Amino acid sequence: MVLAQLGGSISRAIQQMSNATIIDEKVLNDCLNEITRALLQSDVQFKLVRDMQTNIKKIVNLDDLAAGHNKRKIIQQAIFNELCKMLDPGKPSFTPKKGKTSVVMFVGLQGSGKTTTCTKYAYYHQKKGWKPALVCADTFRAGAFDQLKQNATKAKIPFYGSYMESDPVKIAVEGVERFKKENCDLIIVDTSGRHKQEAALFEEMRQVSEATKPDLVIFVMDSSIGQAAFDQAQAFKQSVAVGAVIVTKMDGHAKGGGALSAVAATKSPVIFIGTGEHMDEFEVFDVKPFVSRLLGMGDWSGFMDKIHEVVPMDQQPELLQKLSEGNFTLRIMYEQFQNILKMGPIGQVFSMLPGFSAELMPKGREKESQAKIKRYMTMMDSMTNEELDSTNPKLMNESRIMRIARGSGHQVREVMEMLEEYKRLAKIWSKMKGLKIPKKGEMSALSRNMNA
């Protein structure tokens, strides 16, 4: 079961519970059983799932809840919190500081995406003004150095490695020394990965770690690893001081539950996820927005970050102003559609906005979504300024709808569908009303507000 499906199943279970007239023990149990089944099918470790169920039951004591309490909300919140708890080990990982030298060592099985992730991690920081460098201490796999070299060259990141030297410890130490002298602030050491857990691999890892004294060890895990995730992650943790996890290939059809298990096994947070083969298909991982997104509640902080990242600077204040006013006109919808189409991979921005993702742009159907948006825009091209700027839902009467259909060469039914979509998005948009627009870096507060 892919993560989106897991989220869908959990949301459905919550929805079913919400639909019940009376929330009693049976309704709660049915809901929790449904969630348990979904999590197990997604390869989350059995013990974690069982603990979660027990915890929710402890928190939601139906007998003790007075009649006035909103049981649905309490249950929903408990489920949300428990899912967050599964992904949050309770302590943040070491965070390198720009301008101060940190050594970060990457470990993981061969094929997990370790080398690719090293470069993504370096590139991510380089874009933010860091001075990263890559060291290839993988002397086991033929071609590992070439791969790192190729990636590093493409991203214009300094690298160090050797075709001749077979001692990974020696290379790691030399590389780290060199880049310390060159004042690099993020020295990334890629280590060997093997097919499976092997004593030699762990010994080598331990030696590289001892010699380079990394400030942070990152365990890279392929999201398709399934139930094996817990044991694998634990084995790595027992050999070196894993402090953070990066889960790769989240774009694939993997069961994502392994990520939850890896967090539990290493007691370390997931800090990034890999979402594709390209250098910039790499996202910061934040528990609450992730769980919100998983449950179809949307990811407000990611949305705001994305606005800062992709909307041209000069247009940001205007867009944010419009967001805070909460009035969503058809013209705003038109402009946002334009933005989406311009920004290439559709869904990047708006898929993070609650409610936009599931219906307007289901994952994997980006092409269709794009065609639909273009269709909607053609219809809007036949609208008058008054219609585009109106906030009065009653303005769009039958004769106007018929005129727009005729003018744009579409069916009346299609225009009505577009207006329905508009109404739906307007409702979501209105939740932003009165919000203090946060500056970059102040996103989590907003996320908390919106998810509350």
Binding site for ligand GDP (CB under 6 A): 108, 110-116, 193, 248-249, 251-252, 274-277
Q: In the bound complex, what is the minimum distance in angstroms from residue 193's beta carbon to ligand GDP?
A: 5
Query: What is the 8-class DSSP label of residue 134?
Result: E
User: Are the C-beta atoms of 258 and 223 separated by less than 8 Å?
Assistant: yes
Phi then psi for 212, rounded to 5 degrees?
-100, -10
Q: Label residues 52-61 b or e (16+ Cβ within 10 Å = b).
A: bbeebeeebe
Nearer to ligand GDP, 77 or 150 (CB): 150
How far apart CA 294 and CA 289 sit, in angstroms, is 8
User: Are the C-beta atoms of 282 and 121 separated by less than 8 Å?
Assistant: yes
Nearer to ligand GDP, 290 or 337 (CB): 290
Q: In the bound complex, what is the minimum distance in angstroms from residue 280's beta carbon to ligand GDP?
A: 11
Phi then psi for 390, rounded to 5 degrees?
-75, 145
96 Cα distance to chain centroid: 21
Q: Which parts of 1-45 fold into alpha helices (H)?
A: 3-19, 25-41
- The letter for the amino acid at 410 is H
Q: In the bound complex, what is the minimum distance in angstroms from residue 136's beta carbon to ligand GDP?
A: 10
Q: In the bound complex, what is the minimum distance in angstroms from residue 200's beta carbon to ligand GDP?
A: 16
The residue with tokens 């979402």 is 275
Q: In the bound complex, what is the minimum distance in angstroms from residue 111's beta carbon to ligand GDP?
A: 5
Contacts (Cβ under 8 Å, ≥6 apart) of 40: 46, 49
Nearer to ligand GDP, 114 or 306 (CB): 114
How far apart CA 378 and CA 140 sit, in angstroms, is 57
> Whose CB is nearest to ligand GDP?
274
Nearer to ligand GDP, 120 or 322 (CB): 120
Tell me how far CA of residue 38 lies from CA of 1, 46, 76, 257, in angstroms.
8, 12, 16, 10
| Residues facing residue 159 across a β-bridge | 134
Helix, strand, coil proportions of the chain in percent (round to 5)? 60, 10, 30
Nearer to ligand GDP, 149 or 180 (CB): 149
Nearer to ligand GDP, 45 or 224 (CB): 224
Contacts (Cβ under 8 Å, ≥6 apart) of 368: none
Nearer to ligand GDP, 69 or 278 (CB): 278
Q: In the bound complex, what is the minimum distance in angstroms from residue 225's beta carbon to ligand GDP?
A: 12
Q: In the bound complex, what is the minimum distance in angstroms from residue 118's beta carbon to ligand GDP?
A: 8
Helices 3-19, 287-294: crossing angle, 10 deg rounding? 70
Q: In the bound complex, what is the minimum distance in angstroms from residue 415's beta carbon to ligand GDP?
A: 39
Nearer to ligand GDP, 76 or 112 (CB): 112
Q: In the bound complex, what is the minimum distance in angstroms from residue 149's beta carbon to ligand GDP?
A: 13
Nearer to ligand GDP, 76 or 224 (CB): 224
